[in-house]
Structure 1
């Protein structure tokens, strides 16, 4: 039996929990339920996939109780460092200083990957919008402020671009999606990196930007707001039917965001994975590679005080890295290549 349980007005009120408990003996029921309650939270980028994992896992393991709160990467990291979660999700890997704060140790486990797209709401366009690298950089720095700017028109001679202000939709909360997007902009532009906002989970956007919490809110705001453009995970834009810009990649080709161009970007760069599993691909190589993608990590403790809980977490994450990858296609994520899955499982095996 699957059900959804809410924790009322607590911080866990937005958690999706797939749960079903079978007690072998009545006296063991409370202890079993409590020990199997796994509390996670963090990045909104992979949240739809993690929720699907939770539901599917509960169907096979009716004793499981797992929750994942859509907090944003920044808040998820802070709660993980404070040991208020059993696991966290982040689209920005922890750095050495953050990892040193956790006495129980940390394991970074790449769990999925996805594209960051630029979705827009501009009426009257009869074809896809193509944006060169320096153009989308300058849109998000505020230097290009109207849709009929000469540089946008030069890349899109067949589109009837309106004389309309460009309004950015960006994240207000500490966001791994923001980090991945601004890390890309820093990689392709010295001006952005050294004299502009730089890379971070939060950055200073131009004053007219609409600031919202979470990928879902970015998608929703673009959907209802004419003249907007914003950055978000591909699956959120796809589910709302938002048009997405074709972006110029490192090879100088304009690439449509889709699973094929995402797979090209990830597969062509996966062998760069370092021993600490902090693989950043801010500007992927490959003629057909889409230019903005990120891994998303599960943050796990190296040591758990409860061995039963450690075992439950390892079983759930193993499911996500194996059977769970098949849900990536339908939800707009990129299945991890076999070599990354192998490295993630090795990291998982070291948890106690």
Structure 2
């Protein structure tokens, strides 16, 4: 009798499902897309009997593992530059679109009740605005009784594509942030009152624990943990809330093949309904994989996800890639992988 491994549902432990007759697909990296990869993996296993072992360890960890050839694919929210892909003999393609969201721990306010602009948020993350009743934040929220409470910045402690996208946004809207901190998977956080958390899970947990905290997580973690979030002003001057519609609006104008490796930035995208910190999460694979069978299985998994996983993505407020784009990925990217 075949002995089946159980699905490990805990965030951060990965998705594991296997039989004695079928090897697992292996992947590692970004925590941003973990909720949808877990959902896809469970459904795919039920349909095909093939499992996915995905380690939710952060984008930087995922890139390290694919370069070490210990996994079939790496996953990253910080796209690998085209020159590095060429040097390593790899390809890259987006798998899902979502949004990074400012989350707070403030009593007495409903999710989305408070508003913020990018420049004011940059000052919070720099530590220049250190109290919730600061006049700059209060001016954006007239009539709200804001507490005389210290702000604690919660950030990623590990190398993170979510951090890359968050700091990419702050760099785009604040010259001071761009000049003093910049963007990257890991940066030196300037706020005196700050605390790190590992993965989106760790940031969500610390924001929920620390009174007066502000942090940034992928929207699926907002929903899962019933977190309070701030409305954010977009490039058109409109205040918007995060959801699949505002993420899709930001992605609408993306020219995916204009950048090597399809690594398009969608931060601060134009559009009245666009969420300002929308992003794709990417998959990185070798053109000449060590294990061709597992590489082929990985492509079958993403092919299935593109075709059948749209409703599951919508349930978690991710945005599935449009069919026209997935057709191009199959024709222009996957054909470079020699399975």
Q: Residue 28 of structure 2: SS of its match in structure 1?
A: strand
Quote the residue 2:334 is aligned against.
Answer: 348
Q: Relative to structure 1, is the Cα distance of residues 159 and 273 closer, same or farther in structure 2, using a 3 angstrom cutoff?
A: farther
Quote the residue 2:115 is aligned against.
Answer: 130
Pick one of 183, 186, 196 that aligns with 1:211.
196
Aligned partners of 1:4 and 1:16 also within 8 Å: no
Quote the residue 2:217 is aligned against.
Answer: 232
Pick one of 187, 192, 207 that aligns with 2:177.
192
After superposition, the C-alpha distances for 1:2-60 in whole angstroms (9 at most, x for unaligned) are: 64267xxxxxx933212235xxxxxxx4xxx3xx3322110000011111111111111
1:320 and 2:305 are equivalent in the alignment: yes
Pick one of 74, 77, 92 that aligns with 2:60.
74
Between 308-317 and 141-150, report the one with greater CA deviation.
308-317
Quote the residue 2:41 is aligned against.
Answer: 54
CA distance in 1, matches of 2:61, 2:300: 25
Q: Relative to structure 1, is the Cα distance of residues 307 and 132 closer, same or farther in structure 2, using a 3 angstrom cutoff?
A: closer
Q: Relative to structure 1, is the Cα distance of residues 258 and 310 closer, same or farther in structure 2, using a 3 angstrom cutoff?
A: closer
Q: Relative to structure 1, is the Cα distance of residues 98 and 273 closer, same or farther in structure 2, using a 3 angstrom cutoff?
A: closer
Aligned partners of 1:4 and 1:17 also within 8 Å: yes
CA distance in 1, matches of 2:86, 2:303: 26
Aligned partners of 2:44 and 2:51 also within 8 Å: no
Q: Residue 93 of structure 1: SS of its match in structure 2?
A: coil
Aligned partners of 1:179 and 1:199 also within 8 Å: yes
What is the CA-CA distance between 1:132 and the residue it aligns to? 1.5
CA distance in 1, matches of 2:15, 2:327: 28
CA distance in 2, matches of 1:150, 1:47: 38
| 5+ long unaligned stretches in structure 2 | none
What is the CA-CA distance between 1:66 and the residue it aligns to? 2.1
Aligned partners of 2:39 and 2:312 also within 8 Å: yes
Aligned residues: 329
CA distance in 2, matches of 1:272, 1:70: 25
CA distance in 1, matches of 2:258, 2:181: 27
| 5+ long unaligned stretches in structure 1 | 7-12, 22-28
Q: Residue 270 of structure 1: SS of its match in structure 2?
A: coil
1:79-90 equivalences under 5 Å are 79-90=65-76
CA distance in 2, matches of 1:273, 1:96: 11
After superposition, the C-alpha distances for 1:83-140 in whole angstroms (9 at most, x for unaligned) are: 22110110011113432442xx211010001111001011123671100121111111
Superposition TM-score, scaled by structure 1 size: 0.88
Quote the residue 1:4 is aligned against.
Answer: 6
Aligned partners of 1:89 and 1:299 also within 8 Å: yes
Between 342-351 and 213-222, report the one with greater CA deviation.
342-351
Between 269-278 and 327-336, report the one with greater CA deviation.
269-278
Higher gyration radius (CA):
1
Quote the residue 1:338 is aligned against.
Answer: 323
Q: Residue 303 of structure 1: SS of its match in structure 2?
A: coil
CA distance in 2, matches of 1:235, 1:92: 18
CA distance in 2, matches of 1:328, 1:212: 26
Q: What root-mean-square deviation, in Å, do the aligned CA atoms of Structure 1 and Structure 2 show?
A: 1.9
What is the CA-CA distance between 1:304 and the residue it aligns to? 1.7
Quote the residue 1:260 is aligned against.
Answer: 245
Quote the residue 1:10 is aligned against.
Answer: none
What is the CA-CA distance between 1:332 and the residue it aligns to? 2.5
Q: Residue 309 of structure 2: SS of its match in structure 1?
A: helix
Superposition TM-score, scaled by structure 2 size: 0.91
1:159 and 2:158 are equivalent in the alignment: no
Q: Relative to structure 1, is the Cα distance of residues 343 and 2 closer, same or farther in structure 2, using a 3 angstrom cutoff?
A: farther
CA distance in 2, matches of 1:297, 1:320: 14
CA distance in 2, matches of 1:145, 1:129: 17
Q: Residue 248 of structure 2: SS of its match in structure 1?
A: helix
Quote the residue 2:272 is aligned against.
Answer: 287
